[in-house]
Amino acid sequence: MNNSKHFPRKRFGQHFLHEQHVVDRIIRSLHPRPGEHIVEIGPGLGALTGDLLAVTDTLQAIELDRDLVVQLKERFDEPERLIIHQADALKFDFCSLSPSPQKVRLIGNLPYNISTPLIFHVLEQSHCIQDMYFMLQKEVVDRMAAPPGGKDYGRLSVMVQWRCEVEKLFEVGPGAFTPPPKVQSAVVRLAPYAISPLDVNDPKIFSRLVQQAFSQRRKSLRNTLKGMLSAQDLEAVGIDPRARAETLSVEEFARLSNMVK
């Protein structure tokens, strides 16, 4: 692959994957089948794109960098099979790419500078997503998969685990990328629940409560949830008002959100 044409842009958080064995492992994990609606986020120089095209009928890709869109179209001259949307993934309507009731499968080496907001954006559209296979900073994947009680467990953990089954697949060292990032990376599988195992009456209230609970991690729930729930409300569902947000399970957050009037 000729990388000389394109200099990675810091403002886009570009770290291009070049290790073929890592590409092979990601594609094997995805295990694409004919007729599926696969969408690649941030194809970059096309390390995953070529291998995806080899095993799918059509592939949709979302790329913000106009120069890369031009290069991808030149390299993979199959406009009827590779449909590239020059767009910002943070604002993109992924549901528009899948004729209901079929769902899309998302894959990508996500730009690290937007990975967390992008995860929140796709979670909002999880009803039309079958699964997601993302390369992210290892610390972000660790936070997604974290159980309650530790420093990695936070708002991201709760919001992801509420909507999805989370599986950390494998880690990838900096040498697999050009330029090498200063951090370890990891590939994660997120599979949105068709029917959530948690009963949440109002998703917006749940989201606001979780955000407020973690806004000051060192403070007790009695303080952080003031204005939403009283100490008596917390005790009524068996939660100690002196507890901190990081000690609560996702199910306990769901119980609390259902108490908010």
pLDDT in tens, the chain (261 residues): 444 455 544 444 567 899 999 999 999 999 999 889 999 999 999 999 999 999 999 999 999 999 999 999 999 999 999 999 999 999 999 999 987 789 999 999 998 889 999 999 999 999 999 999 999 999 999 999 999 999 999 999 999 999 999 999 999 999 999 889 899 999 999 999 998 899 999 999 999 999 999 999 899 999 999 999 999 999 999 999 999 999 999 999 999 999 997
Domain locations in the chain as residue ranges: 10-192, 203-257
Helix (H, G, I), strand (E, B) or coil at 54: helix
Class of the 203-257 domain? mainly alpha
pLDDT for the residue 34: 85
> Using one digit for the tens of pLDDT, what is the confidence trace for 80-96?
999 999 999 999 999 99
Residues 145-152: contacts with CB under 8 Å, at least 24 apart: 145/188, 148/246, 148/247, 148/248, 148/249, 149/246, 149/247, 150/246, 151/246
Domain covering 10-192 in this structure, CATH number: 3.40.50.150
pLDDT for the residue 2: 42
CA 254 from chain center: how many Å?
Answer: 21
- Is the model's pTM score more than 0.85? yes
Averaged confidence pLDDT in the chain: 92
Q: Are 131 and 105 in contact (CB under 8 A)?
A: yes
